[in-house]
Amino acid sequence: MAKDSLFELIQQTVLEGEVEKAAELARKGLDEGLDPLEIINKGFVPAMDEAGARFSDGRFFLPELVAAAEAMKEAMGLLEPLLGKGGAARESLGRVVIGTVEGDIHDIGKSIVASLLTANGFEVRDLGVDVPVGKFVEEAKSFQADIVGLSALLTTTMPKQREVLEALQKLDATKGVKVMVGGAPVTARWAEEIGADGYAEDAVSAVLEARKLVGA
């Protein structure tokens, strides 16, 4: 299959949320000798850019965006470990540690943000849900994170965002880390109140905010 045709098919597959097919196409590209970085940059990144644009202007709703993110995530699981092995390494805009705070098990919004950040050139370490304060601090230090993203979907867990921020500020190794917050009950006013560096109301704006925080 011609490269351009493969990349177009990858984009169509991601936009249609076909998880298994997206992984199959990534594997097909590798089998045909394509560089994993090229497959990402010319197939999957444009697809997620388009998914984000469709979500922003109302052509996509949350289920479609979730499906696209899952398709991208599945394929990236195959491609990312191969980056830099016999090919060019992917240029990184920065390193992000992201997770849903302790006491909160909501995963969808956070996972979409992680997928979009990955698609846009960030190295992302997704800690999952119900993440203790100490785990955020530990991972921010070991990963040498530029940004820590804190998701909270319950008003009762929002204070954990403040606790993580304060814990990061107390540790010399993480004092320069930027903190970005989000989640359904979270507002720009709350972000300002706790001293967060950034706030995003949805996954698309989270990417823009992350780029702003790292000066990209």
pLDDT digits (tens, 9 = 90+) for 13-48: 999 999 999 999 999 999 999 998 899 889 998 998
The strand pairing partners of 179, in sequence order, are: 148
Is 177 in contact with 145 (CB distance < 8 Å)? Answer: yes
Q: How many domains does the chain have?
A: 2
How much is the mean pLDDT over the chain?
92
122 and 144 housed in the same domain: yes
- Above 80 in pLDDT, residue 92? yes
For tokens 């979500």, name the residue.
Answer: 55
Task: Please tell me the pTM assigned to this model.
Answer: 0.79
117 and 181 housed in the same domain: yes
The confidence score (pLDDT) of residue 86 equals 58
29 and 118 housed in the same domain: no
103 and 209 housed in the same domain: yes
Q: Read off the pLDDT of residues 166-213 as tens digits, 9 standing for 90 and up.
A: 999 999 888 889 999 999 999 999 999 999 999 999 888 999 999 999
The confidence score (pLDDT) of residue 125 equals 96
88 part of a folded domain: no
- Cα(135)–Cα(102) distance, rounded to whole angstroms? 10
98 and 71 housed in the same domain: no
CATH of the domain at 73: 1.10.1240.10
201 and 117 housed in the same domain: yes
**Which residue segment(s) compose the domain that 125 sits in?**
94-213
Q: Read off the pLDDT of residues 103-151 as tens digits, 9 standing for 90 and up.
A: 999 988 898 899 889 888 899 999 999 999 999 999 999 999 999 999 9
Pick the last residue of a domain from 82, 115, 131. Answer: 82
Which residues, including other chains, have CB under 8 Å from residue 155's CB and lie 6 or more apart? 185
